[in-house]
Amino acid sequence: MSRPLLSVDHLQSGYDGTPVLFDVSLTIGEGEVVTLMGRNGMGKSTTIKTVMGLVPATGGEVYFEGRRVDGAPAYDVARQGLGLVPEGRQVFPTLNVEENLVATSANRAGGAARWSLKTVYALFPRLAERRAHFGSQLSGGEQQMLAIGRALMTNPKLLILDEATEGLAPLIRKEIWQVLADLKDTGLAILVVDKSVAALERLADRHVVLEKGRTVWTGSRQELAANPDVKDRYLGA
């Protein structure tokens, strides 16, 4: 694997003194797509929030491009080049599409300004058509496109999606997966959580499985395909 872009080592965190993450470790290389898998409540969202600095780490370390980021405020973590598409999208309902997109661009990472309104609209023509619509007027799929576009506007080196296609109609899901595959082809590193194991298996280079706040399995796409017992044991309904 190439040099890790993100390295999460023995991460611990929780809420109000109640531990949720006990020992989460994972790495993401430049341009790699990695999934975070596990049943409901196993700590996937908490891992993402802790990496982003939205929930404080109580133990372990997080490095991004070799720089330690745990303990840094969330806006600072984002500015290092981590773009979050949060669970539930969280678009601003009273801002229109264009205002939503511009709202985060102040948080741009230092690197090359790859993303702009023009390139986001080229990726999501539907957002261009809806550019004057308020966030609250958009469908779930459009809101997710906007949430992805908003994260891209920060020019991330790593895009993190929590529940990439939750609650979306099948056709829209397909569209989102295609966009993620296209982004992967541009060399963008992606960390993704979703319930669709099949879609994740197609997209990802590597998988990380959590159970009760611990990393219990990690392996390549080929290794997961060769180990159906991993899916039975950790991902089954």
Ligand X SMILES: Nc1ncnc2c1ncn2[C@@H]1O[C@H](COP(=O)(O)OP(=O)(O)OP(=O)(O)O)[C@@H](O)[C@H]1O
- Contact set with ligand X (CB under 6 A): 15, 20, 38, 40-46
Q: Please report how close the Cβ of residue 211 comes to ligand X at its closest, in angstroms.
A: 10
Torsion angle of the four alpha carbons 195, 151, 21, 199, in this order, in degrees rounded to the nearest 10: 20
Q: What span, in angstroms and rounded, lies between the C-alpha atoms of 6 and 195?
A: 23
Q: At 54, is the secondary structure helix, strand, or coil?
A: coil
Output the smallest distance, CB 164 to ligand X, in A: 12
Of 157 and 163, the one with the shorter C-beta distance to ligand X is 163
Nearer to ligand X, 38 or 86 (CB): 38
> Cβ of residue 99: shortest distance to ligand X, in angstroms?
28
Torsion angle (degrees, nearest 10) of CA 163, 164, 166, 169: -170
CB of 98 to ligand X, least distance (A): 31
**Distance between CA atoms of 225 and 145, rounded to whole angstroms?**
30
- In the complex with ligand X, the residue whose CB is nearer, 42 or 109, is 42
Here the tokens at position 16 are 């109000």
Distance set, CA 228 to CA 20, 130, 173, 232 (Å): 27, 43, 25, 6
Q: Going by DSSP bridges, is the β-strand pair 4-15/18-29 parallel, antiparallel, or unpaired?
A: antiparallel
Would you say 44 or 150 has its CB closer to ligand X? 44
For ligand X, the closer CB: 54 or 103: 54
Beta strands in 95-205 (DSSP E): 158-162, 189-193
User: Nearest approach, Cβ of 119 to ligand X (angstroms)?
Assistant: 30
